[in-house]
Structure 1
Amino acid sequence: MEMNVSKNDEQVVARKAGGLNPAVIIPIILAIGVCIYLFVLGSPGNFKDADKLGAGSVAFSDVEGKDIHPDSFLGIIYKGGVIVPILITFMLTVIVFSIERALVLGRAAGKGNLDNFVIQVRSLLNQNKIDEALEECDRQQGSVGNVVKEGLTTYKALSHDTTLNKEQKMVALNKAIEEATTLEMPMLEKNMMILSTLGTVATLVALLGTVIGMIKAFFALGSGGGTPDAAALSTGISEALINTALGIGTSAIAIILYNYFTSKIDGLTYKIDEIAMSIQQSFAEFN
C-alpha cells in the first residue's frame, strides 16, 4: 500500500537531509587528522638527527632504542602522544562544520540586507500592498523570505475567502506562518549539536591525555632508582601540557562559534516573528 506524503513532510525531509552529513564527514576528518599527525607532525624533518630516521614518518622509522627529540614546534606537538590525532580531528571538525553553518546561515538571511527587508515589508503591509511585499520576498529569498512569502500568500488567499469568518481566518494565517517557520528551523539548527558537544568533549579528551602524560612523568620519577630520568620526566610533562593546550583551544573555539551561530539563528527567528506580527496586524486591520 502506497503512503501519500504531504508537501510539508517532503520539505521537512529535504531540509533535514541538506547540509553536511556527520556520519560521512567525521570519519573522513578522522583519517585526515591521523595523516596530519603521522606525516606532517611526525615528519623526520621536525626532529633532531633527521637523517638517521629515514623518510616518511617518525612512527614508521626504525630508531633502535633511541629516543627522538623534536627540533620544531610541530615535533613538540607530535610528542603529545596518541590523543593528539583525536584532538586534531576535533579541531578540524569544528572548523569544517563552522564553515558549513556560516554558509547555511548566510543563505538563510537572503540576498539583501535583512534589516532593510524587514522595514520594507512592514511598510508595505501598513499600506496593505501585499503583491509588492511578495515581490520583496522573491528578491530577498532565504529562510526569512520563504516564511514571509508563505504568510503573505496565505494572507492573500484568505482575504478572498468568503467561507470563513475573521477569527477562523486569523487562526489559519497563524498556523500557516508557524508551519513555514517549523519547516525552516531544521536547516538552521542542523549540526549545531556537534559544536556544542565538542565544546565539552574536547576538554575531557584533553584531560585524558593530560592524565596519561602525568602518569608517565611520575613513573619516570619513581623508576630511576634514586636518580629520576630527566628526559622521560620532561617527555611526560610535555605530553600532558600539549594535550591540555590542544583540548582547551579546541573547546574554546567550539564554544565561541556555537554561541555566535546560536545568536545568528535567534536573530533570524526574531526577524521572522517581527514580520509575522506585522502580517497578523495588517490582516486584522484590512480584513
Structure 2
Amino acid sequence: MSLFLQADSLSVPQDALTEVAPVEKTISIWELLTSGGLAGQIVMIALFVMLFFALYLYFERLMAINAASKIDNNFMMQIKDHISNGRFDSAKMLCASTNSPVSRLIQKGISRIGNRLEDINTAIENAGKLEIYRLEKNTSMLATIAGAGPMTGFLGTVVGMIMAFHKMASGGGQIEVGALAEGIYTAMTTTVVGLIVGLIAYIGYNHLVVKTDKVVHLMELNGVEFFDLLNEKK
C-alpha cells in the first residue's frame, strides 16, 4: 500500500513537465522609428530633415572649399615674373583666368598698384574678408544642427515619457507592462537619433573649419609674398 502511495506522490502532471519556451518579440528599425505615435513621428521627421540638410551642407561646402584650395604651384612665380617686368595687364589676365581666392586677392592688389602700400593692404584685407565669408557660407547652420539635433531628440523622449505615464494613469493601475515598455523604448529612440544627427553635424562642422583654416593660411601666405614683391620693386 505504501508503494502505491509513493508512486502516486511522485507522479507529476504531463502539462507541468512541458516547458513553455519564451516567445522573443522582434521589431524592425522602421517600426521602431514610426511606432511612437503622432508626436514621436513628428519629432522623427524633424530629425531626418535636419540630417538631410546637415549632409547636404557638409558635402556642398566641402566641394567648394576643396575647389578653393586648388591652385597652380607656378601661379605666384608667374605673377612675380609679370610684375617684375611691369606686365601688370598680363598679371591681371592670369588672375582672372584662375578661379581661386588667392588669385582674386592678388588681382585686387594688382589693381591698386601705384597707391600707397597701406591702401593696397586695406584692399587685400577687405577682399580677404569677403573670400572668408564665401568659404564659411552656411557652415554656421551645421553648428546649429549639431546643437538642435540632440535637443530635439530629448524633446521627443520627454513627450514620449509623458504620454507613457499618462497611459499608466488613465489605465487605473491595470496598464500592461508590455504596452508601457513599448512606449518608453520608442521614446528613447528619438534621443538616439537626435544624438546621431548632432554627432554627424558636429564632426562635419569641425572638419569644414579645419579645411577653411588651411585655405585662409594659403591666402595669407600668398598675400605676404605679394607684399614682399611690392617692397622689392619700391
Structure 2 counterpart of 1:108, one-letter code: A
Q: Distance in 2 between matches of 1:140 and 1:106?
A: 15
User: Which residue number corresponds to residue 125 of structure 1?
Assistant: 80
User: Which residue number corresponds to residue 109 of structure 1?
Assistant: 69
Structure 1 unaligned regions, length at least 5: 1-68, 159-167
Deviation at residue 138 of structure 1 after TM alignment: 5.1
Q: Which has the higher contact order (CA 8 A, sep 6+)?
A: 2
Tell me if 1:177 matches 2:124: yes
User: Which residue number corresponds to residue 108 of structure 2?
Assistant: 150
Structure 2 unaligned regions, length at least 5: 1-24
User: Which residue number corresponds to residue 17 of structure 1?
Assistant: none
TM-score, scaled relative to structure 2 = 0.74
Please identify the structure whose Cα radius of gyration is greater.
2
User: Which residue number corresponds to residue 209 of structure 1?
Assistant: 156
* Alignment deviations for residues 19-50 of structure 1 (CA, whole Å, 9 cap, x no partner): xxxxxxxxxxxxxxxxxxxxxxxxxxxxxxxx
Matched residues, percent identical? 26
Structure 2 residue matching 1:125: 3-state secondary structure: helix
Q: Distance in 2 between matches of 1:219 and 1:102?
A: 46
Q: Distance in 2 between matches of 1:91 and 1:129?
A: 54
User: Which residue number corresponds to residue 41 of structure 1?
Assistant: none
8 Å CA contact retained: 1:150, 1:177: yes
- Relative distance call for 1:217 and 1:129 in structure 2 (3 A) is farther
8 Å CA contact retained: 2:143, 2:201: yes
TM-score, scaled relative to structure 1 = 0.61
User: Which residue number corresponds to residue 85 of structure 1?
Assistant: 45
1:282 to 224, 229, 233: 229
1:248 to 184, 195, 209: 195
Deviation at residue 90 of structure 1 after TM alignment: 0.7
Structure 1 counterpart of 2:146, one-letter code: G
The total of aligned residue pairs comes to: 203
Deviation at residue 207 of structure 1 after TM alignment: 0.7
8 Å CA contact retained: 1:137, 1:146: yes
User: Which residue number corresponds to residue 96 of structure 1?
Assistant: 56
Q: Distance in 2 between matches of 1:129 and 1:223?
A: 88
Structure 2 residue matching 1:277: 3-state secondary structure: helix
* Alignment RMSD (CA, Å): 2.9
Structure 2 counterpart of 1:200, one-letter code: G
Structure 1 counterpart of 2:80, one-letter code: L
